[in-house]
Amino acid sequence: MVFTLRCRFVLLVLPILMTLPMACRQPVPSSAVKREISDVNDTPDSADPLLDRWVRNFAAATGEGREKAMAAIIQIHEADEGIDVILPLLTLLDDRKTDGPGQYFPDVPSSTMEAAVMTLLKLGPKAEEALLVRGLPKLQAHLNDTDPLVREHALHALARLGKRANPATIQMVKQLSDKDNNVRRAAYLAMRAIAPIPSPELVKLLNSSDASIRSDAAEAIQDRDLPADALPTLMKCLQDPDRFVRNTAAEAIGKLGAKAEPAIPELIKNIEDLNEQDLRNARQLSDLGALEALRKIGAPAVAPLANVLESKNFVARYVAALTLGRMGPTAKSALGQLQARMKAETQYVDVACEAAAAQILIGGDPAAPLKYLEGLLENPQPTVRAAATRTIAALGKPASQLVPKLILELNDPDESVRRVAIEALKRMGSAAKPAIAVLGPRLTDDQISVRTAAAEILLSMGHAAKDAIDDLGDALEGEDSNVRKLAAETLAILGPDAKPALPELLKAIQNKEFDPYQRTAFAQAIGAIGPTASDAAPIMLDLLDATDPILRSTVARALGRIQPKSDLVIPKLITLIRKDSNSNARLSAIFALGKLGTAAKAAAEPLLELYNNSSTPIERKIALAAALGAILPDQAATYHATVLNPLHDHSSRPLIIIQRSVAMEMLELLGPAAKSAVPDLIALTRDRVADQRIRAARALASLGKLAEPAIPALVSLLKDSDATVRRAAMESLEKLGPLAKSAGPRLRELIASDPENSIPAIRAAERVDPQP
């Protein structure tokens, strides 16, 4: 029986560095607005027709058109020509037009009523008072509408009022039990912005006969610190037929800590009732809410869990051993029962293996459990060998004495055993260094599975893989594309230490038979070597003419990092900036000139010309400003504001996101001046858009020591709900190295608890806080 609890995720890359219209519109005088309307209005000098036109547009438009109408009405109001815009906006609160279900963005309205509220809030105290006195009742009336879309967007409009909508909370609480899923979610969102949901109301919802209402309430519990008197209802939810309700109720119980001790019998029963399908359905350990709850309750749960080791249900025995292991030294009193279970379990090897692992994790003597696992590696049954190897992989470094045995398993006749042996060696990190002598030559093995395994293990070892530098270089010309790419990624991690492989990298990047993605990986590795790779300039310059835009872009950035001395570099990059059809390539060429610093002084004039050109998109001006500040340090202060200002705007409007993203990409060009951006970057690590959190983490890593105040924010990202964000945080901490030593304990926790990111967690932990 094999239990593998893994998360799957899809990496979504947002292609946001594109040429788009300027986002920062200049204020338009009232007369200009009138001229714009005059072509379609019989009385262009009349104020009322002008306002009427924009109000009609306001109600009819969606997306950008609605935002334009909002801006125009605000401008009419600010012109102070005696035109009353408040009354028409209040009338628009009766409009039922929406962009559809499930549409909500904090800074962008998705219905007419939301847009009206947002506009009124920008018109000052008088408009706000009118909104609360005359508008709030209109929105409350919409909550009784028969159309769920109207109810949903009325709630979104109320959410935009924040605490000012407090008089509507009693009515909004009723929407928490609405039959429509989107209405309920909108109600929870609104209540989060306006006032906490009263605990008694949540308890009532948990008792609803509707499973979806119970489920939503259970999800809301995760964001709340409930009083202890909610415990009886939460205990009842442990028997709910809906698995999500059971798990979230258990998680809520866990938050109560020692106060939840009365729930231990129910939580134990929850574990006793588990079956194989429950484990298969659990994508990660947190999906087994009872396990996490008992772990958080701590010492009082140890003895009851130890008793479950004798259960007739093998799944319960397995989960009990797993939970005790995750409790660490707190569960030391269970060592005797875990040892007994390891020896007595003859039918289900997974249970015995977990009991062995728990002894080590609790802090017991590792000798006996490691000897037991080593013996299983020689068992004639492949399923037994695989189970033992999987346990060794979960243990990681504490089982590093078994690395020689794992190396032998790479030749196991059973594919499943070989696969888990690879995973085990990957999770050993630098502890797998003794395997380098075997793994290096395997990069050119006759078997593709062996080549790939060797490449993956070396990549997981990070900087420890430098002893295989010659073999990694040879692998770049191998026949397998995946191995070539993995070898290049490992060389990129090695940075300047990869210089001996530069000839092979240059040969590989010129091979047009290799696809652009591989050649891009080669370019990144060359750039990571830095100035000692400056001899690569002639070949890299030729590649600026490559047909693939991603390759051109990566090569341009690499040129900036290797600091070439060639006189041809600046003209070539200027040509790319002026003529390339790809926005990313142009931005990368600007970045490269900035990295050249004062050596690129000849580029100052053409860059200034582009910077001062009114048709240059704002995001490109941000990049140009960063480069000019690096090239002309005596004038740097003039340009730095252009780079830093977009970081102050934390809104989620698409154009603002693009400008902010470019600013983050260019920050490292500012040198010490980038220190003032750290508070904004810390705030952006909490942005609701995952891509922005990722970019903020990477920007902080590029600042080196300047980012030291942001290390707690990066550590917080290790708890992010998005796996790609957690990975970005790990990679950023790895780049910061010993500066981020405080992140070591959390990273080591994630090696076990975040299976899909265990490898970057291992690399980061060893980089920031190496341990024997």
pLDDT of res. 30: 37
Candidate from 18-27, 109-118, 583-592, 718-727 with smallest mean pLDDT: 18-27
The answer to whether position 46 is within a domain reads yes
Q: Which residues contact 703 (CB under 8 A, 6 or more apart)?
A: 667, 668, 674, 675, 677, 678
The answer to whether position 117 is within a domain reads yes
Candidate from 173-182, 261-270, 420-429, 702-711 with smallest mean pLDDT: 420-429
Q: Which residues pair with 98 in a beta bridge?
A: 111
Residue 694 has pLDDT above 90, yes or no: yes
Q: What is the CATH number of the domain that holds 41?
A: 1.25.10.10
Q: Calculate what percentage of the chain has a pLDDT beyond 70.
A: 91
Q: How many domains does the chain have?
A: 1
The answer to whether position 78 is within a domain reads yes
* pTM exceeding 0.75: no
A 10 A CB-CB count for 256 gives 21
Rounded-to-integer distance, Cα 442 and Cα 407, Å: 11
Candidate from 23-32, 326-335, 749-758 with smallest mean pLDDT: 23-32
pLDDT, one tens digit per residue, over 154-169 is 999 999 999 999 999 8
Rounded-to-integer distance, Cα 345 and Cα 664, Å: 55
C-alpha closest to that of 368 among 407, 406, 326, 340: 340
Mean pLDDT to the nearest integer, 559-568: 90
Confidence of residue 127 (pLDDT cuts 50, 70, 90): very high
The answer to whether position 654 is within a domain reads no
The answer to whether position 394 is within a domain reads no
Residue 362 has pLDDT above 90, yes or no: yes
> Residue holding tokens 């593709």?
448
The answer to whether position 496 is within a domain reads no
Domain that holds residue 178: 31-195
Residue 739 has pLDDT above 80, yes or no: yes
Rounded-to-integer distance, Cα 468 and Cα 639, Å: 45
718: DSSP letter: T
Mean pLDDT to the nearest integer, 51-79: 77
Confidence of residue 39 (pLDDT cuts 50, 70, 90): very low
Hey, what are 467's tokens? 């002893």
pLDDT of res. 227: 63
Rounded-to-integer distance, Cα 318 and Cα 230, Å: 30
Of residues 500 and 255, the one with the higher pLDDT is: 500
Q: Mapped to the 3 state alphabet, what secondary structure does 257-300 carry?
A: HHHHHHHHHHHHHHHHCCCHHHHHHCCCHHHCHHHHHHHHHCHH
685: DSSP letter: T
pLDDT of res. 736: 95
The answer to whether position 585 is within a domain reads no
The answer to whether position 711 is within a domain reads no
Residues 699 and 735 sit within 8 Å (Cβ to Cβ): no
Average pLDDT, the chain: 86
Candidate from 41-50, 126-135, 433-442, 627-636 with smallest mean pLDDT: 41-50
